[in-house]
Chains A and B, each alone.
Chain A
């Protein structure tokens, strides 16, 4: 790992195309949890963007038109709704 700060290292790894937290971890030498923390800190600073693919699937309108859609409100039971698949993008500055 170079003398750059950990966050700059992570930023460089994402910009270079690291496609997973594990890959960011490998490229920067940070453990996976700390790599995640670094990504979150960078996202909070507005330097990268974390886009949740699916943070919840419950419709905001017209929910009574389909009884089955009520199932989407079962948060906690369906881990899929928060499975956390996400994309990191470097924000143009």
Chain B
């Protein structure tokens, strides 16, 4: 099998000669990717399949029953009719072009009928199949009993029930091992409308068999008179009737009862706001002592040890010592004190996602956007933006309408990514120590308001005509989050935070440090011997400070942080740690400086600063992605809009804040 190449991970490699290739296929939310993770561990490699923009997961599955196989996680598909590039690739690979040795069809027991449409299509091909039945526990609670034997007979393939969330996959391994030593299966002969004629004596791939190539499959599925579709549906319906029975009358599930409230028009948004408020209050409260401990570690023992080592090797007073101690340890170290905070927030968000609540939150907010005349479907990419704006902008490609894609790409930067959270927490804790969590929560609510305002502004000016397309809700049931998956999701995101801190932030720290040791024009100080306030960095920041006088934070530390924050928001924190003298209490220094720049209104200036930080351009990576998605001209329009809205709102907030008694 030709192997995927990856822009993401070097683990996607070639399959060794002789190693069987097994693919997982299933509909979205069937538990396919969860199963893939359970089989391969969390070391999932993701990459584009060669010659396509379709992403596939790849990994190795080891088990005593077959040794090791290369496992491919094909994109989620509802059928093999190539209605999307994902489904086209899945059909092409399964139809024999991808040299797969076996296929595991993941069927969701709760939605057996829906899963069986895809299963029927796969079984129309001459491939070795094993059916993995997931969500059987949820089905049992809903009174759905499935007879595995009958289902296996109807499908003509072994059926293994499993709960991948609990790592129960041994039966599947045995079934796959058994399938791998058998010849490819005869295609399923559907009752009517499909070419049939296969018999037990018929060799695989014979002319009378149903289609065995992607093209033939597509031609047979896409029929004008619905004959094949009717045949598939009739087979699915008959299979569900034969293989399932009701153990008790279907009653309203727990999910249904909860959804009645959490997706309700008024109560739903209220619950969403309450949940998010709890997340931020909990995050800031629990993380505070941990942050203090890490801060003491970096400013104490680590700084002292680094100084001692540099002194011991004769570099204690040079530029290198300044870079290491005042640059790297102060800047990157300050950022690293936020690791506990980010970890706690990522755990809580993963909890909400894995339980199924986040999808409901998307529905609730989608309804609000729809009422405002904004494209409701755009909200899901926007939700991704609360983690990171870069994948959110990439995600808009799934929107079918070009104007929706443009509008959403321009709105994503207003969603408050997790990098901004570090600054919110630091500033909120410094200026509002008793209610830092509430301030952070208010900023996230402001982010949603900004998205709505920005959308309305664009709809009334540059993007006037937008089509309307209704949504169909297909929400997964609530489930108890798995500790292992929570850990994996949290670590993946935390690793991203650490990668940023060790990459672009180190580079930014180096630039800020270099500008900090170069004297400003006319200062008269020497290189490396200049007070921070007389450095080139401070001189450049002061050059822009006049713009922020009406916003109350025309102070060079604050303005300089916003400039480097254009590169990445994590750099805001590191720049402060670098430019305030060693030993300075950062929160106290910020309060004092903004108090001076605002004429005695430090809290109003702090809120204005945070609002500006929320609304202006997130980072250069976002701009690069935006440029690829909507072009340079619209990206420039977006930057202008962000800066204008950020400045206007900051000024408004400060002026109103200072006018209040």
Contacts and interface: CB of A to CB of B under 8 A. Distances in A.
Contacts of B27: 40
A23 to B, nearest CB: 9
Interface string A18-46: 01111000000000011011101111111
Contacts of B221: 44-46
Interface string B433-453: 000000000000000000000
Interface string B378-400: 00110110011011111100111
Given A20-B472, A20-B473, A61-B7, A77 B81 contact: no
Contacts of B53: 60
Interface string B220-236: 01111010111011001
Chain B's interface size range is: 35 or more
A85 B358 contact: no
A60 B55 contact: yes
Interface string A43-78: 111110111111111111111111111111111111
Chain A's interface size range is: 35 or more
- Point out which of B80, B353, B381 has the most chain A C-beta atoms below 10 A from its C-beta: B353
A75 B354 contact: no
B229 A75 contact: no
A62 B383 CA distance: 20
A66 B389 CA distance: 9
A84 B226 contact: no
A92 B399 CA distance: 19
B419 interface: yes
Contacts of A7: 226, 229-230, 233
B226 A45 contact: yes
Contact of A73 (B35, B44, B390, B398): B44
A50 B226 contact: no
B101 interface: no
A33 B113 contact: yes
B29 A84 contact: yes
Contact of A85 (B417, B472, B503, B620): B472
A3 interface: no
Contacts of B621: 62, 65-66, 69
Given A33-B112, A49-B83, A62-B390, A41 B117 contact: yes
Interface of B: 7-9, 27-29, 33-37, 44, 46, 48, 53, 55, 57, 73, 75-76, 78-81, 83-84, 86, 110-114, 116-118, 121, 221-224, 226, 228-230, 232-233, 236-237, 240, 350, 353-354, 356, 358-359, 362-363, 366, 377, 380-381, 383-384, 387-388, 390-395, 398-400, 417-419, 469-476, 485-486, 488-489, 492-493, 495-501, 503-504, 619-622, 624-625, 628
20 contacts: A5-B230, A21-B474, A33-B113, A36-B474, A40-B79, A41-B236, A45-B81, A46-B81, A61-B7, A61-B394, A66-B619, A68-B493, A68-B496, A68-B500, A71-B492, A77-B485, A80-B380, A82-B76, A87-B469, A87-B472
Given A41-B79, A77-B37, 11 more contacts: A40-B117, A45-B221, A55-B75, A57-B394, A60-B394, A67-B496, A69-B621, A71-B489, A71-B493, A84-B29, A85-B362
